[in-house]
Amino acid sequence: MSLESDRRTVNVADRQSESDFDPLQAIRTVVEAVRRGGKNTELTPKLLVAIRFGSSGTGEFRSNAGDPTRGVRPVPANRLGEAIANACQWFTADSFRELNPVEQASIAFLRLIELQPFDSRNEESGLIGSSIFTLRRGLPPVIIGDNRLEQYRSARAAGLAMNTTALVDFFAHSVEESLDGVIALLEKEG
């Protein structure tokens, strides 16, 4: 899984690139939350902090002005906690729950990267956090391969411009590729 972050490409499997973020642990955190909560698992501010900083939960939301060059004007730090709580509450609304899980993941991801909850690693944290919506329906997390980074960047840009179709399609294709990979692995072992 790779993502563009802080104007460079970061290989999520390479945990040595930034010591305060462990993407594999972040995925385990979400998987464990879904295992405990099942189909009703919710993305909460506390879970989002655990995804970003690990199960110790010893991190906090952004306290700076955020990065206005990322395509949206960031929420001021003094209102960020409230904005994140409101977003997480919106993700539980009946109208949101009626959406396809891939649509839910896409919309949640866009909202999270718009909010820029942390000083760094917002896209990775947002992607893993938004995967809760696919995982709780028995689908794999959204994984973006190195070979699809340009498509991802284009779909993300379109989504931030309020055209979510491209990102939903991109996420759906990513989930489908993950399923195909799991099926191939199981067939090989079986």
Three-state DSSP class for 19? coil
pLDDT band at 11 (very low <50, low <70, confident <90, very high): very low
70 backbone dihedrals φ, ψ, rounded to 5°: -85, 10
| Rounded-to-integer distance, Cα 4 and Cα 67, Å | 15
Q: 76, 95 in Cβ contact below 8 A?
A: no
pLDDT at residue 27 greater than cutoff 80:
yes
Q: pLDDT for 126-175, tens place per residue?
A: 999 999 999 999 999 999 988 999 999 999 999 999 999 999 999 999 99
What mean pLDDT value characterizes the chain? Answer: 88
Q: Cβ(171)–Cβ(105) under 8 Å?
A: yes
The CATH number of 2-189 is 1.10.3290.10
Distance between CA 159 and CA 123 in Å, rounded?
A: 13
pTM: 0.86
For residue 17, the model assigns a pLDDT of 36
Give pLDDT, residue 126: 97
The number of C-alpha atoms within 13 Å of 184 and in the hemisphere containing its C-beta is 6
Q: Other CB atoms closer than 10 Å to residue 72's CB: what's the count?
A: 16
Residue % of the chain over a pLDDT of 90? 74
Output the CA torsion sign for 135, 140, 145, 150: negative
The two tokens of residue 22 are 């462990």
pLDDT of 7 strictly over 70: no
DSSP state string for 120-172: S-HHHHHHHHHTHHHHTTTPPPP---GGGHHHHHHHHHHHHTT-THHHHHHHH
